[in-house]
Chains A and B, each alone.
Chain A
Amino acid sequence: MDGIHDVGGMQGFGRVQPLTADPPFQHRWEGKAFAIGALAARIAGTNLPAFRHAIERVPPPEYLRGYWNRWTMGAQLMMEDSGIITDEQVRARAARLSGQDVAEPPDPEPHKPQMEITGPGNLRELDTAPAFAVGDRVRAAADVHPTGHTRLPRYVRGRTGTVAAMQPAAVFPDSAASFDGENPQHCYTVEFDSAELWGPDAEPFRLTIDLYEPYLEPAR
Chain B
Amino acid sequence: MTTAQEPLDPALRVEALASLLAERGLIDEGTVSKFIATYEQSVGPMNGAKVVAKAWTDPEYRERLLADGTAAIGELGFKGPQGEHIVVLENTPQVHHVVVCTLCSCYPWPVLGLPPSWYKDPAYRSRVVREPRQVLREFGLELGESVEILVHDSSSEVRYLVLPERPAGTGGLTEEELAGLVTRDAMVGVAVVSAP
Contacts and interface: CB of A to CB of B under 8 A. Distances in A.
Interface of A: 5-11, 13-25, 27, 29, 31-36, 38-39, 43, 52, 55, 59, 61-62, 64-69, 72-73, 75-77, 80, 84-85, 87, 89-91, 93-94, 97-98, 107, 121-123, 151-153, 155, 165, 167-168, 170-171, 187, 189, 197-198, 202-203, 205-212
Given A35-B35, A167-B158, A97 B129 contact: no
Interface string B1-45: 110010111111111111111001011000110011001100010
B122 to A, nearest CB: 5
B91 to A, nearest CB: 14
B151 A205 contact: yes
Nearest to B35: A35
A6 B129 CA distance: 12
A36 B21 contact: yes
B114 to A, nearest CB: 4
B40 to A, nearest CB: 6
B27 A35 contact: yes
Given A11-B126, A20-B117, A43-B21, A68 B132 contact: no
Contacts of B31: 35, 39
| Range for the number of chain B residues in contact with chain A | 35 or more
B76 interface: no
B156 A212 contact: yes
A8 B101 CA distance: 9
B35 A38 contact: yes
B151 A207 contact: yes
Contacts of B104: 5, 52, 55
A152 B13 CA distance: 31
A203 B132 CA distance: 8
11 contacts: A7-B102, A17-B118, A43-B27, A91-B5, A97-B12, A97-B15, A97-B16, A197-B129, A206-B150, A206-B151, A210-B155
B125 A8 contact: yes
A67 B123 contact: no
A168 B17 contact: no
A94 B15 contact: yes
A16 B84 contact: no
B75 interface: no
Majority SS at the chain A contact face: mixed
B84 A13 contact: no
Interface stretch (B47-55, B59-67, B135-143, B170-178): B135-143
A36 B155 contact: no
Contacts of A15: 123, 138
Contacts of B165: none
Contacts of B120: 67
A76 B14 CA distance: 9
B184 to A, nearest CB: 8
A23 B115 CA distance: 9
Contacts of B15: 29, 32, 94, 97
B57 interface: no
A205 B17 contact: no
Given A11-B126, A155-B102, A80 B12 contact: no
Contacts of A87: 1-2
Nearest to B13: A72
Given A32-B36, A97-B15, A210 B154 contact: yes
Given A65-B7, A67-B120, A153-B153, A198 B130 contact: yes
Contact of B118 (A18, A24, A72, A197): A18
B133 interface: yes
Nearest to A107: B24
A36 B15 CA distance: 10
A72 B11 CA distance: 10
B122 A13 contact: yes
A189 B21 CA distance: 40
